[in-house]
Structure 1
């Protein structure tokens, strides 16, 4: 269950539009059934504590996993949220793509992932 929004609204589906800029793109490589791990440090753009959620949009490869999926973000001057993405391919030769959304009520960061063996 994601952290509750401060405005009482539902989070809704994770969505990326053409207007959403990609914050960063990562390329990961791992042998089949092995895991490559990437850590992203996400800082708050605002000076208020904020509930957040973090997840992959529909159509993203299941070879990627993310933790944490939700929580409370420190204000801008505080410690960033440490987001850990794991890439675990199951077969040789496949290229996997995923789009990760990290969002609060007031900000959204988009990360693209490309995974290969």
Structure 2
């Protein structure tokens, strides 16, 4: 069963427990909720989801950000990517959680260049 997290004023209560920070959800009156702000449409780069919080979905807090990597390598030049995830533990009756594992990605500055003599293809 789906339950809306948008209140009549288009503010979400505990919205972060259901969605990642870039989630844009449909509110009443045709508005979209993004990062706690009520908007007429979702910002570019986000997908306007039509779904709402799943009843009984109580995910764990977000895990730590991974190390900064570029194509799976810890070395590179300028920008890499980091990721983190969270899941929802099963209920006390052993039934699996109703909410999916969630993942977030963000851009990060590479702190380590590839060692000299190493082929660039190995790092990029």
TM-score by length of 1: 0.26
The structure carrying a bigger helix percent of its residues is: 2
Query: Greater relative contact order: 1 or 2 (C-alpha under 8 angstroms, separation 6 or more)?
Result: 1
The structure carrying a bigger strand percent of its residues is: 1
